[in-house]
Amino acid sequence: MNYTSDLANTLFSRSPRYFAGGMYPNDFLEVLEKTRTWDDWVSGVLYYADERLRLANEALSKGRTLSAGEYFIEAGIYYHYSVLNYFEDPDKKVAIRKKSVEIYAKGMGLIDRPIRRIDIPYDGITMAAHLRLPESGPGPFPLVILLPGVDSVKEEYFEFSKVFIERGLATMALEGPGQGETRYQRPLIDYENAFSAVMDYLEYVKEIDKNAIGLYGRSMGGHLGPKLAAHDKRLRALVSAGGIYDMKYWDRLSDSVKNNFTHAWGYTSLNEARAYATNGMTLEGVIEKIECPFLVVHSEQDRSFPAEGGRRMVSEAKCEAELVIYEEGFHCADNIRYKYQRLVADWLREKLI
């Protein structure tokens, strides 16, 4: 489908990401038809977010708590998507992201198998996480830590968490340094020590089986995951989806992707980001240190992060490692999530239970 603006075409190419996170296709297409500028996109998605917020409050006033919870969560996701990859007005982005977190939180305790917020202290910051258990019993349950990408957030994992929960696995969507609520407090660099603080914290969460913790990371999270497993041997299984081996191809990336990484790493110029991307961001010498079972999922049609990175990860692994590359897959295989999400969840269940 061709639209009348380059921005609309770019957004359309990313549509699987929005759909995978819970955006309704019809809403997406309605907004896209009217999108000429970033402000068009933001205001269009905000319309649907506000509509869900209205329905949430209406349902709550009538005692329909489950529907209210679902609407609050959908509204929170839509508020986030309105400013995903939006950097034209940083203050506006921060304000809408704050609203996204607040509105989403209103629904967390109203849904079936509620979501519990956890705040994990580390070196002067607080890392936010969403814990969800597969049932109301005492556990302990195996846990899958869900790690976002460079501009994704814990709220986006609501839909995917259901797939794990239905298989008896608890989930914890985590925002580490430079992600989500900490994006403007700490850059997305030197993540390993922060993650060990997370693992230390989980030692005291009674519902979690400390000996059955796995990690799933997508995109940038798929790059961080191998570093974390190499650093902290308490992880029992690892999945990297659409992960980045290195970024020596920085110059070929779109301006949008470059700007995203530049902001996340805390740099003020593309030149600074380029220097780090081409020299400091690599898994060379890391993969061989992973000891737990390792699954790499990648896509042949990934325009940003080539599948060759996934092949290289598995070729350098000395642990039990598997590679799945989808010929028809886009970034993180979001366009065929009915294939890869169940594959990943089944694989992690087999390794953790």
- Tally Cβ neighbours within 10 Å of residue 137: 9
Domain membership flag for residue 267:
no
| 266 inside domain | no
Indicate if 80 and 213 belong to the same structural domain: no
In this structure, the answer to whether residues 67 and 57 fall within a common structural domain is yes
Which pLDDT tens digit goes with each residue over 72-118? Answer: 999 999 999 999 989 889 899 999 999 999 999 999 999 999 999 99
In degrees, rounded to 5, the angle at the alpha carbon of residue 319 between the alpha carbons of residues 178 and 332 is 45
CA distance 134 to 213: 14
Same domain, 169 and 142: yes
Q: Check whether residue 28 and residue 171 sit in a common domain.
A: no
Place of tokens 């968490």: 161
Cis peptide bond prior to 140, omega within 30° of 0: yes
Classify residue 271: in a domain, yes or no.
no
Q: What is the pLDDT of residue 4?
A: 53
Q: Please report how the helices 6-13 and 25-33 are oriented relative to each other, as an axis angle in degrees rounded to 10.
A: 170
Contacts of 6 (CB under 8 A, 6+ apart): none
Where residue 314 sits, what CATH number does that domain have?
3.40.50.1820
The residue range of the domain holding 83 is 1-112
DSSP states of 91-158 as a string? Answer: HHHHHHHHHHHHHHHHHHTTSSS-EEEEEEEETTEEEEEEEE-SSSS---EEEEEEE--SS--GGGGH
Contact 120, 198 (CB under 8 A): yes
Rounded to the nearest 5 degrees, what angle is found at the Cα of 107, between the Cα atoms of 106 and 111?
150
> Where does the pLDDT of residue 9 fall: very low under 50, low under 70, confident under 90, or very high at 90 and above?
confident
Terminal C-alpha separation, the chain: 44
The pLDDT mean for the chain works out to: 95
What span, in angstroms and rounded, lies between the C-alpha atoms of 255 and 165? Answer: 37
Please give the full DSSP string across 39-105, using - where no structure is assigned: HHHHHHHHHHHHHHHHHHHHHHHTT-HHHHHHHHHHHHHHHHHHTTT--S-HHHHHHHHHHHHHHHH
**Where residue 184 falls among pLDDT bands split at 50, 70, 90?**
confident
> How many distinct structural domains can be found in the chain?
2
Give the CATH number for residue 52. Answer: 1.20.1440.110
* Cα gap 215→236, rounded to integer Å: 8
Residue 325 identity: I
* Lookup: tokens for 121: 């202290």
Average pLDDT over residues 20-29: 96
Which pLDDT band holds residue 290 (cuts at 50, 70, 90)?
Answer: very high
State whether 340 and 205 are in the same domain: yes
Report yes or no on 251 lying in a domain.
no
Instruction: Look at residues 44, 107, 26, 122 and name the one whose alpha carbon lies nearest to residue 70.
Output: 107
Structure tokens at 210: 């400390």
Of residues 10 and 141, more confidence is placed in 141
The pTM score is 0.96
Q: Is residue 256 part of a domain?
A: no
In a domain, 158, yes or no: yes
Percentage with pLDDT > 90 across the chain: 89
